[in-house]
Amino acid sequence: MEEQKVLVTGGAGFIGYHLCKKLSTITSNLTIYDDLSSGKIENVTDVPLATFVQGNILDLKTLCGLPKQDLIYHLAAQVVVPYSMENPLIDFETNAKGTVCVLEKARQDDAKVVFASSAAVYGNPSVFPTPESYGFHPFSCYGLSKIVGEQYCQMYREQYGLDIVITRFANVYGLRCHGVIHDFLDKLAKNPDKLEIIGTGQQSRDFVHVSDLVEALITVGASDRFNGETFNLGIGKTTSILELADLILSILELKDRTVITTTNQSWQGDVTKIWFDIGKAKQELNWIPKVTLEDSIREVIADRKISL
């Protein structure tokens, strides 16, 4: 990968930042492509060795006008499930049509593509832990748009001979992330006496640390052995939102003080349980997630200088 030209769409986002930070230590030919609609400019400036191009993946002229690339990590996406249910056309444009635009750039350059898909393609599975072979059962417009993206990737691989790897992300967390962990910490910082959980709290997720995810992404990007393969990237266990809240309160020493409440009503398209079977990634990528949820929460609390 040292001599390759690497493009990361959505490189100004949370995962994109961590991936680009690592890639910038490997290659001197790294380009970040992002329209900054949800990504942050500090995530770009903090990777000073990369070239930044502000652009939308739907802008095919700008995208295909970039220098020839060898490897494309396609992370740019609309990732908010409730938004996808309220705005299915915009979600489809970004995630489905946008992916085709990126694939057109790859076809023009004969570049390898690593596509970032999601646990949302499984919907509410009946098999746990859920393997890659489970199939598509979307429960949200977001999940459906990711399936369309995956299918286009496979079509371009079969019909145009592109080298493509699909990676399905579980719930990725870490520094600079804006997910349920940060949501809980924000609420507790405002009022440590009460913590409200959206939904029942019984919904559970497979939480994987961004550093572990990046390690897997680097592995599939650097090797030519995984063309056409799909990999679940999670930690291989599930944690309920109530268990997560309890862990955070324990770390902050608030268990005897904070009252947990639930709304008992989740958002449209929300799934009940995510629990990945990561046996394939372990075996074929020799990849084993290392960061524990507790260690990372302590890291985030220290970074945010939270004291209650």
| Helix or strand run (H / E) with residue 215 | helix 210-222
3-state secondary structure (DSSP) of residue 306: coil
Q: Which of 207, 186, 196 is nearest to 264 (CA)?
A: 196
Helix axes 141-160, 98-109, angle to 10 degrees: 20
Q: Whole-angstrom Cα distance, residue 58 to residue 67?
A: 17
- 247 closest CA partner among 169, 303, 195, 172: 195
Query: Quick check: helix, strand or coil at residue 113?
Result: strand
Residue with tokens 């592995």: 219
Of the residues 17, 33, 73, 142, only one is catalytic, namely 142
Cβ(94)–Cβ(57) under 8 Å? yes
Tell me how far CA of residue 36 lies from CA of 64, 120, 278, in angstroms.
Answer: 19, 24, 32
What pairing do the DSSP bridges indicate for beta strands 230-233 and 194-197?
unpaired
Q: Give the H or E element holding residue 160.
A: helix 141-160
Catalytic annotation on 160?
Answer: no
Tokens describing residue 66: 């970039």
- Annotated catalytic residues are 142
